[in-house]
């Protein structure tokens, strides 16, 4: 990171980027008691900031701790950070974790810490890759049963299998990997949700063991606005044979077309392209949209 002149909001104050450190005995590091968000600012405004901050609070509650800053305080801190850092199009990473007072599985007495970092952010997948569609590997690891892990929390611990899957995919020359769930049903990519198109309808897995992404819900709304039916259901991997188009959704991925998953191939079709455009229009702050239209 080349942000040496930047700042990070850390436990209620702004500290120089290089000074935002934590103790090596932090519970969050040893036992993954940490939750985070991935947000994106467009034209200086974080898209759906409040939903992200609320999800952060909920993720912490699911892991059994309460973030000692309110949703409103976190929202304000995020906005101030962007202003102080002069960021317009940026990625924002809030994170909360259990501190270092007690070392052991139990950590009820540990203080809760929080930080928010932000930096300028180009596209997650390279633009030229995006238009031809990205290629996905089939992941070795599966999304766990909700009875095995708190799958509705955006908890750091759940990303261990995502990093392993993404690394394996990249080693083999793929952009990302599609993960199945513990039942063998299609779940999601390592940091994004998945949609398929067939006969003019959208099909997407029911989010019962993975994140019901904010982008996922946004895109479902945009599709319905166009009169497109959205079917949430269990999808078996063999069904991918019959799907015509496929795309990923996520704060970082936005709407990213997929051309290939294992043996299955997909077209970057009109419906996918239309939703890419609708999403771009949706995230663009209305004031800048007006300025752009007037120019
Ligand atoms: N699944 C996983 C595993 C993710 O990390 C993300 C990104 N937060 C998503 C789905 C998409 O969520 P969102 O649209 O809220 O960014």
Q: Look up residue 67 and give its two tokens.
A: 């973030």
User: Which among 8, 151, 22, 16 has a CA at the least distance from the CA of 97?
Assistant: 22
What's residue 1's pLDDT?
A: 59
Cα angle value 96/98/100 (rounded, 5°): 135
pLDDT at 27: 97
d(CA 155, CA 35): 4
Question: How far is residue 281's CA from residue 283's CA, in Å, rounded to a whole number?
Answer: 6
Q: Any idea which fold 127-283 has?
A: D-amino Acid Aminotransferase; Chain A, domain 2 (3.20.10)
How do residues 220-250 score in pLDDT, each as one tens digit? 999 999 999 999 999 999 999 999 999 999 9
Residue 63 CB neighbour total at 10 angstroms: 20
Which atom belonging to ligand 1 lies closest to the Cα atom of 210?
1
Q: CB neighbours of 160 closer than 8 A, spacing ≥ 6?
A: 32
Q: Where are the domains of the chain?
A: 7-120, 127-283
Query: What is the model's pLDDT at position 30?
Result: 97
The fraction of the chain above a pLDDT of 70, given in percent, is 93
CA distance 114 to 34: 9
ipTM strictly over 0.85? yes
pLDDT tens, residue by residue, 147-175? 999 999 999 999 999 999 999 999 999 99
pLDDT attached to residue 240: 98
For residue 58, report the distance from its CA to the centre of ligand 1, in Å: 15
Any residues with CB less than 8 A from the CB of 65 and at least 6 apart, and which? 33, 96, 98, 112
C-alpha of residue 65 to centroid of ligand 1, in Å: 21
Q: Find out whether 5 and 87 touch, Cβ atoms under 8 Å.
A: no
b vs e for 133-165, b when ≥16 Cβ sit within 10 Å of the residue's Cβ?
Answer: bbbbbbbebbbbeeeebebbbbbbbbeebbeeb
Residue of 125, 158, 213 with the most ligand 1 atoms within 8 Å of its CB, for mutation: 213
Flag residues of the chain having pLDDT under 50: 289-290, 293-295
**Given the residues 21, 132, 154, 201, the one annotated as active site:** 154
Instruction: Label residues 109-123 b or e (16+ Cβ within 10 Å = b).
Output: ebebbbbbbbeebee
**Nearest CA residue ID for atom 10, ligand 1:** 192
Q: In whole angstroms, give the CA distance from residue 134 to residue 175.
A: 6
Ligand 1: lining residues by beta carbon, under 6 Å: 38, 162, 188, 191-193, 210-211, 213-216, 249-251
**Closest atom, ligand 1, to C-alpha of 252:** 16
pLDDT of amino acid 285:
85
CATH second-level architecture of 7-120? Answer: 2-Layer Sandwich (3.30)
Known catalytic residue at 154: yes
- Residue whose CA lies nearest to ligand 1 atom number 13: 213
Residue closest by Cα to atom 9 of ligand 1: 192
Atom number in ligand 1 closest to CA 52: 15
């Amino acid at each position: 990171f080349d942000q040496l002149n930047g700042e990070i909001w850390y436990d209620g104050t702004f500290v120089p980027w290089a000074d935002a450190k934590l103790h090596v005995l932090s519970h969050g590091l040893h036992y993954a008691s940490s939750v985070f968000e991935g947000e994106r600012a467009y034209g200086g405004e974080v898209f759906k900031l409040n939903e992200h901050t609320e999800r952060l609070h909920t993720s912490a509650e699911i892991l059994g701790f309460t973030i000692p800053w309110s949703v409103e305080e976190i929202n304000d801190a995020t906005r101030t950070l962007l202003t102080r850092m002069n960021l317009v199009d940026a990625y924002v990473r809030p994170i909360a974790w259990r501190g270092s007072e007690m070392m052991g599985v139990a950590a009820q007495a540990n203080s809760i810490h929080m930080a928010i970092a932000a930096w300028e952010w180009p596209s997650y997948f390279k633009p030229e890759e995006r238009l031809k569609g990205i290629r996905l590997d089939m992941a070795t690891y599966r999304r766990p049963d909700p009875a095995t892990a708190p799958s509705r929390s955006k908890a750091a611990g759940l990303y261990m299998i995502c990093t392993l899957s993404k690394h394996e995919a990249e080693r083999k020359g793929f952009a990302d990997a599609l993960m199945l769930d513990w039942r063998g049903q299609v779940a999601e990519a390592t940091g994004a949700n998945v949609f398929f198109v067939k006969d003019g309808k959208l099909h997407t897995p029911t989010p019962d063991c993975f994140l019901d992404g904010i982008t996922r819900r946004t895109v479902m709304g945009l599709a319905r606005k166009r009169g497109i039916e959205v079917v949430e259901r269990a999808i078996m991997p063999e069904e991918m044979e019959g799907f015509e188009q496929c795309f990923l959704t996520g704060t970082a991925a936005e709407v990213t077309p997929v051309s290939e998953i294992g043996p299955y191939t997909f077209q970057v079709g009109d419906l996918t392209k239309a939703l890419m455009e609708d999403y771009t229009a949706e995230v663009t702050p209305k004031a800048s949209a007006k300025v752009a239209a007037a120019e």
